Structure 1
Amino acid sequence: MLITQNETNQIVARITPIFNQVLNEYDFRKYPAAHYARFKTSFTALTNPNNDIADAMIWKWGHWGKPNYPQHHRDLIAEIQGLWPQYVDSFNNNTSEQTFRWWRGHFNRQTTYITVAYITHLIHHHEPLPIIDQHNFRAMNSLLGCTRQPTRSKKKPSNWDDIIALKNFMASIHAALPQRTFSELDRFLMMYGRNYAAR
């Protein structure tokens, strides 16, 4: 998906007045920044112990600080921990797309898309690669919809091309908002998609 300079300018003009308000809705108690920074470091190094895998997944799923969470999430954590040494030894970690396809192939079920995308993000966050989910994907579609003729867009991301579409969208917007970090834009889009974009 390509976004024109004119579309970028329209979107930036739309979000600039509300950027701080929407950004401040992000809950750092639920998603602590220091722990997220730790996950990025350990996943990129490809040496993270099992505790970092568990903590990173608990953080992503919004369970941080909760003494209990669903068994299927516990099972998925154990599966990731079991697969991690194979992934590191596979040499399929040179590019983000290789990483994504490796994990997608080894889970081999649709319900793990967001988890696979998140693992890929942590390992390759320097690209920068966004943390894709239904919220920032919805925000992208909503903001593009304000600048284009109405079209039927996907409701939820489901493949590698969706990650690239969001990455390219964010890169264009970020280039026009140099005073904001890529991470701030990511958090803004998450909250915009959750609280403001039509579902």
Structure 2
Amino acid sequence: MRELTSERLLLREWRDDDAGFVLDMCSRWEVQRYLGAAPRLLADRDEALATIARWRGHDDGLHGVWAIEDRADGRPLGTLLLIGILASGEERPLRPSGETEIGWHLHPDAWGHGYATEAAGVVLRHAFASGLGRVLAVTYPENTASQAVCARLGMRHEGRTDRYYNLTCELFSINAAA
């Protein structure tokens, strides 16, 4: 996985020794409540390790799930993803839509410092430099914090949709600069 950097952040591959942090972050309802069709809390280190392995499985040179780390002190802050978004449908597992989604979730200790916006900006530049023409974000309708990040990134609000994940979501998009 290609490491990406900004002034304050290092985006890197998740490592097994991050399991304690992942367990702490993903065992909090305030972090997990807006993730997926059936949000759930991680219960133990084995689940954290399985989550890390799943995140590493998204790396294809363009797409991936990065650990967000503070460059000043090496402290993990959260996760940033650029993955294929799944289309709604009856079939299980859900099928890829052919489109790409950006998303983030951070530890509550990292909220309110602009890290999500900074990390997402780095990954959007990577995506567009790699040839992607459009990136989507979906949020639960009540997730106003992530919607504010989308706005700060310059993403366009396209309204509500049920086209992805068998959920009703707010849809945002951004296109590569022409």
TM over 0.5: no
Structure with higher RCO (Cα < 8 A, 6+ apart): 1
From the two aligned structures, give the one with the greater strand fraction.
Answer: 2
State TM-score, norm by structure 1.
Answer: 0.29
From the two aligned structures, give the one with the greater helix fraction.
Answer: 1
